[in-house]
């Protein structure tokens, strides 16, 4: 088992420095342009693929880092560059984790490579769980998957929303209801292969921040996928449903569903994204405070400014520690008995929201303009308290874990 240490090993430091260089030289200079264009930055993803930043191999290496720090370190550096572009680069990872968490070895080997494509023909993937009437309340999901025994096919119907890369993805991972009686325990995840008829993009959202990342509705009308596209396979699904029915009869012990397994695994990673954005804004603010003069001295000479910077940095470091703890626990098989994954996401996302707002304050009028990046960083940071479970839902998860009470 990997010993816990705050010291990155030489390999990790090398990867971190390499990613930082890519974030500084390629992502950051492109950030303002793609934010304004509100389009997927395909040339940047392509460049990331050419150097290996956007590749299955790279993510697998980080994902299976025995210390657990590979993914949070990568997220922090890329999102330090720019959140919208970085999400375009790592958004495929959420779908990949959905397959890793629930798929068979064969499904993992078949579908994850197709999510990334090749450096010559780059592809992205989408994970589609949220629906117009089922955001935080996952159990209200309506998208149905019905098995057609005669053809060994599943037929999917419904509307997904807020899907990162939805409609432009090569591979879509779709969560759907297979047994409506069981609420969220009756869900299963499906692969929708490239070019499957019946899947189309609905509205593309115009957003407050992370505007370089594509977010859209995904409409599923009579989408037929082979039986082999059920993640985990039929046998495992039948066993899981039988267990859930038994538990429901015995008094409703909670069973984790497929989408929740994906979200739990990815929450510390979202915390790390937030740390990256917060650190970026803090650095701009620190630099500005040491150079901007008012009353004949740098504004950092005032405790009112310097103390804000001290608080910002303290919260960023505290957030990183929570993220690293949760990531290390996950990698070393320690259960999140106190919802440590949710704690890390909750704290880091709120830190990013507040730190980026403080950065605007420190830059004064300049901070409020698009001449400086902190305005964009603050808009971007607003997403972290919303996606992959809002702050309120994280508090609910933590409070339930601590108390054992089904708090509403
Ligand atoms: C840019 C973006 C990208 C996204 N990417 C994806 C993706 O790739 N795939 C995907 O499946 N989804 C994605 N999402 C969806 C995201 O996970 C949801 O938006 C989120 O879970 C919240 O759901 P909702 O928007 O329906 O809000 P609602 O659930 O309607 O919540 C509205 C408000 O009510 C509060 N609330 C709700 N229930 C409770 C409660 N029980 N107690 C206290 N407060 C409560 C919430 O905290 C929130 O403040 C994305 C969203 C955005 C904005």
* CA pair distance 338, 289, nearest whole angstrom: 39
- Kind of pairing, strands 121-122 and 153-164? unpaired
Q: Is the CB of 159 under 6 A from ligand 1?
A: no
* Per-residue pLDDT at 50 exceeds 60: yes
Full set of structural domains in the chain with CATH: 8-120 (1.10.540.10), 123-248 (2.40.110.10), 256-401 (1.20.140.10)
Q: How confident is the model at residue 253 (pLDDT cuts 50, 70, 90)?
A: very low
* Per-residue pLDDT at 323 exceeds 50: yes
Instruction: Report the predicted TM-score, pTM, of the whole model to 2 decimal places.
Output: 0.96
Q: Is the CB of 390 under 6 A from ligand 1?
A: yes
Q: How confident is the model at residue 255 (pLDDT cuts 50, 70, 90)?
A: very low
191-219 pLDDT per residue, tens: 999 999 999 999 999 999 999 999 999 99
151-182 pLDDT per residue, tens: 999 999 999 999 999 999 999 999 999 999 99
Q: Is the CB of 132 under 6 A from ligand 1?
A: no
Beta bridge partners of 147: 154
Nearest to 96 by CA among 58, 52, 127: 127
* Per-residue pLDDT at 256 exceeds 90: no
Provide the pLDDT for residue 259: 55
Provide the pLDDT for residue 153: 98
Q: Is the CB of 396 under 6 A from ligand 1?
A: yes
Tell me the CA–centroid distance for residue 270 and ligand 1, in Å: 14
Provide the pLDDT for residue 250: 80
Q: Phi, psi (5° rounding) for residue 285? A: -65, -40
* Per-residue pLDDT at 120 exceeds 90: yes
Q: What percentage of the chain reaches a pLDDT higher than 90? A: 90
* Per-residue pLDDT at 389 exceeds 70: yes
Give the pLDDT mean for 66-92.
Answer: 97
Nearest to 384 by CA among 260, 208, 126: 208
Q: What percentage of the chain reaches a pLDDT higher than 70? A: 95
Tell me the CA–centroid distance for residue 386 and ligand 1, in Å: 6
Instruction: Give the position, in ligand 1's atom list, of the atom nearest the Cα of 129.
Output: 11
Provide the pLDDT for residue 261: 52
Long-range contacts, 315-318 (Cβ 8 Å, 24+): 315/278, 315/351, 315/354, 315/355, 316/275, 316/278, 316/279, 316/282, 316/351, 316/355, 318/347, 318/351
Q: Is the CB of 8 under 6 A from ligand 1?
A: no
Provide the pLDDT for residue 24: 98
Burial of 149 (0-12, 13-18, 19+ CB in 10 A): exposed
246 catalytic residue (yes or no): no
* Per-residue pLDDT at 2 exceeds 80: no
Q: How confident is the model at residue 1 (pLDDT cuts 50, 70, 90)?
A: low
Tell me the CA–centroid distance for residue 267 and ligand 1, in Å: 14
Q: Is the CB of 216 under 6 A from ligand 1?
A: no
Instruction: Please count the other Cβ atoms lying within 10 Å of the Cβ belonging to residue 142.
Output: 14
Instruction: Give the position, in ligand 1's atom list, of the atom nearest the Cα of 207.
Output: 1
Q: How confident is the model at residue 263 (pLDDT cuts 50, 70, 90)?
A: low
* CA pair distance 186, 140, nearest whole angstrom: 11
* Per-residue pLDDT at 252 exceeds 90: no
- Please name the residue whose Cα sits nearest to atom 7 of ligand 1: 163
* CA pair distance 334, 349, nearest whole angstrom: 23
- Please name the residue whose Cα sits nearest to atom 35 of ligand 1: 392
Q: Is the CB of 136 under 6 A from ligand 1?
A: yes
Residue in the structure block whose two tokens are 């972290």: 384
Q: Phi, psi (5° rounding) for residue 140? A: -80, 5
Tell me the CA–centroid distance for residue 88 and ligand 1, in Å: 19
Provide the pLDDT for residue 87: 98
Instruction: Give the position, in ligand 1's atom list, of the atom nearest the Cα of 408.
Output: 41
Q: Is the CB of 346 under 6 A from ligand 1?
A: no
Q: Is the CB of 135 under 6 A from ligand 1?
A: yes
Mean pLDDT of the chain: 94
Instruction: Give the position, in ligand 1's atom list, of the atom nearest the Cα of 165.
Output: 8
- Please name the residue whose Cα sits nearest to atom 44 of ligand 1: 392
* Per-residue pLDDT at 257 exceeds 70: no
CA–centroid distance for 99 within its chain: 15
Tell me the CA–centroid distance for residue 385 and ligand 1, in Å: 9
Tell me the CA–centroid distance for residue 389 and ligand 1, in Å: 6
Nearest to 161 by CA among 185, 146, 140, 180: 140
For residues 327 and 72, the answer to whether their CB atoms sit within 8 Å is yes
43-58 burial, b if ≥16 CB within 10 A, otherwise e? ebbebbbeeebbbbeb
Q: How confident is the model at residue 262 (pLDDT cuts 50, 70, 90)?
A: low
Provide the pLDDT for residue 286: 98
Q: Is the CB of 165 under 6 A from ligand 1?
A: no
- Please name the residue whose Cα sits nearest to atom 9 of ligand 1: 163
349-372 pLDDT per residue, tens: 999 999 999 999 999 999 999 999
Tell me the CA–centroid distance for residue 133 and ligand 1, in Å: 10
């Amino acid at each position: 088992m990997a010993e816990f240490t705050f010291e990155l090993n030489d390999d990790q430091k090398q990867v971190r420095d390499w990613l930082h260089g890519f974030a500084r030289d390629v992502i950051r200079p492109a950030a303002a342009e793609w934010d304004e264009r509100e389009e997927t930055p395909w040339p940047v993803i392509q460049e990331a693929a050419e150097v290996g930043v956007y590749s299955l191999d790279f993510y697998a290496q980080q994902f299976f880092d025995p210390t657990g720090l590979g993914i949070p370190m990568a997220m922090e550096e890329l999102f330090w560059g720019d959140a919208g572009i970085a999400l375009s680069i790592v958004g495929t990872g959420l779908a990949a984790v959905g397959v890793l968490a629930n798929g068979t070895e064969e499904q993992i080997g078949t579908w994850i490579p197709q999510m990334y494509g090749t450096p010559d023909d780059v592809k992205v993937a989408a994970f589609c769980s949220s629906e117009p009437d089922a955001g935080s309340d996952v159990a209200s999901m309506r998208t149905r998957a019905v098995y057609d025994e005669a053809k060994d096919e599943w037929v999917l119907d419904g509307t997904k929303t807020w899907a990162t890369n939805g409609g432009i993805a090569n591979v879509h991972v779709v969560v759907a209801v297979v047994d409506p009686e069981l609420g969220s325990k009756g869900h299963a995840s499906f692969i929708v292969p490239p070019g499957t008829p019946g899947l189309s993009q609905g509205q593309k959202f115009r957003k407050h921040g992370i505007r370089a990342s594509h977010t859209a509705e995904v409409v599923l009308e009579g989408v037929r996928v082979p039986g082999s596209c059920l993640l985990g396979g039929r046998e495992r699904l039948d066993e899981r449903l039988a267990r859930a029915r038994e538990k429901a009869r015995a008094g409703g012990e909670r069973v984790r569903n497929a989408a929740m397994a994906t979200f739990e695994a990815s929450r510390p990673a979202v915390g790390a994204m937030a740390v990256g954005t917060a650190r970026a804004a803090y650095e701009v603010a620190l630099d500005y405070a040491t150079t901007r003069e008012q009353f004949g001295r740098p504004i950092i000479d005032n405790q009112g400014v310097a103390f804000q910077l001290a608080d910002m940095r303290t919260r960023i470091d505290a957030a990183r520690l929570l993220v690293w703890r949760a990531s290390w626990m996950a990698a070393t098989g320690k259960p999140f008995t106190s919802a440590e994954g949710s704690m890390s996401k909750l704290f880091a996302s709120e830190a990013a929201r507040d730190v980026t707002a403080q950065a605007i304050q420190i830059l004064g009028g300049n901070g409020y303009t698009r001449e400086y990046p902190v305005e964009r960083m603050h808009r971007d940071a607003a997403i972290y308290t919303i996606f992959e479970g809002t702050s309120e839902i994280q508090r609910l998860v933590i409070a339930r874990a601590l108390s054992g009470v089904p708090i509403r």
